[in-house]
């Protein structure tokens, strides 16, 4: 049955309220806060909840052992996603709601550019989150040189493999690799704009990406046909080349990667 926006928004608020009520009475909880669109006030009816729990170290393992069972107490639970990260539980509920719960030890909460993003503090009796937010002021998102070099090399490898698979006629695979290349380009754009959303490259990129790159990305979606994929690859490579040149102008990187990139787009 289709739900109205009002019904979905009300269900999300109910899920948040029940989650908060559950953790507020649990021994060992040091702080509760929310990030993402709920914290920023930019939700729509399909927004999920990015919920954070800070736990006393001696009880942390107990909370992790219960993380897959406790969502059943919060509403009309459907299923949990299988998360590779031990301290994360992603749960889905009727009618169409999702909550991502991240469990932190007290010592894990450190000043970070992430705390410059909107934070809705729900429970913080010792002012731990308030202090971290204050200490985060002035910090900028940054990556190590090795990570930038990895990104550039990964992009080069992805572009080469798109070409190889398209020429071979492996069009499904070529399309998937083309999408991976887009994600790498988005990650580089986030870095260049000092945007801490780096690890979620495609999420809300329309809102934060550079306008020039957004227009390039719009033109880069291809039909399941060899020449269409190659044309899309060429479009992306031009944007990628400009990114790599810009990175080499501002950072001390391996010059060979710049030369290879220019060769690919020429």
Q: How sure is the predictor about 194, in pLDDT bands with cuts at 50, 70 and 90?
A: confident
What residue ranges do the domains of the chain occupy? Answer: 5-136, 145-265
For all residues of the chain together, what is the average pLDDT? 90
| Fold match between domain 5-136 and domain 145-265 | no
Global confidence as pTM: 0.82
Percent of the chain residues past pLDDT 70, beyond the cut: 91
Task: Summarize pLDDT for 152-162 with one digit per residue, the tens.
Answer: 999 999 999 99
E-strand ranges in the chain read 29-35, 49-55, 77-81, 88-93, 97-105, 120-123
Is pLDDT of 254 > 90? Answer: no
Buried b (16+ CB within 10 A) or exposed e, 62-89: ebeeebeebbeebbebeebeeeeeebeb
CB contact set of 145 (below 8 Å; sequence gap of 6+): 251, 252, 253
Q: How sure is the predictor about 262, in pLDDT bands with cuts at 50, 70 and 90?
A: very low
CB contact set of 70 (below 8 Å; sequence gap of 6+): 22
First to last CA, the chain: 53
Task: Report the top-level CATH class of 5-136.
Answer: alpha beta
- Assign domain 145-265 one CATH number from 3.90.400.10, 3.40.50.720, 3.50.30.50, 1.20.120.330: 1.20.120.330
DSSP category for residue 70:
G
């Amino acid at each position: 049955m289709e739900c109205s926006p009002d019904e979905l928004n009300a269900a999300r608020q109910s899920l948040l309220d029940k989650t908060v009520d559950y953790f507020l009475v649990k021994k060992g909880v040091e702080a509760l806060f929310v990030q993402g669109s709920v914290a920023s006030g930019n939700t729509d009816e399909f927004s999920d909840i990015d919920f954070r729990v800070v736990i006393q170290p001696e009880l942390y393992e107990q909370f992790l052992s219960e993380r897959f069972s406790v969502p059943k107490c919060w509403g009309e639970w459907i299923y949990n996603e299988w998360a590779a990260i031990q301290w994360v539980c992603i749960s889905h509920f009727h009618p169409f709601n999702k909550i991502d719960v991240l469990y932190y030890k007290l010592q894990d909460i450190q000043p970070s550019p992430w705390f410059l993003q909107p934070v809705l503090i729900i429970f913080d009796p010792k002012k731990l989150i308030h202090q971290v937010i204050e200490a985060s002021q002035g910090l900028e998102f940054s990556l190590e040189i090795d990570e930038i070099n990895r990104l550039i090399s990964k992009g080069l490898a992805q572009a080469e493999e798109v070409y190889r698979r398209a020429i071979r006629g492996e069009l499904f695979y070529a399309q998937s690799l083309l999408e991976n290349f887009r994600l790498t380009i988005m990650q580089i754009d986030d870095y260049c704009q000092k945007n801490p959303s780096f690890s979620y490259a495609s999420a809300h990129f329309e809102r934060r990406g550079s306008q020039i790159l957004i227009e390039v990305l719009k033109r880069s979606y291809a039909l399941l046909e060899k020449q269409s994929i190659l044309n899309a690859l060429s479009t992306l490579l031009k944007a990628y080349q400009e990114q790599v040149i810009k990175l080499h102008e501002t950072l001390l990187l391996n010059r060979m990667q710049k030369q290879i990139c220019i060769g690919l787009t020429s």
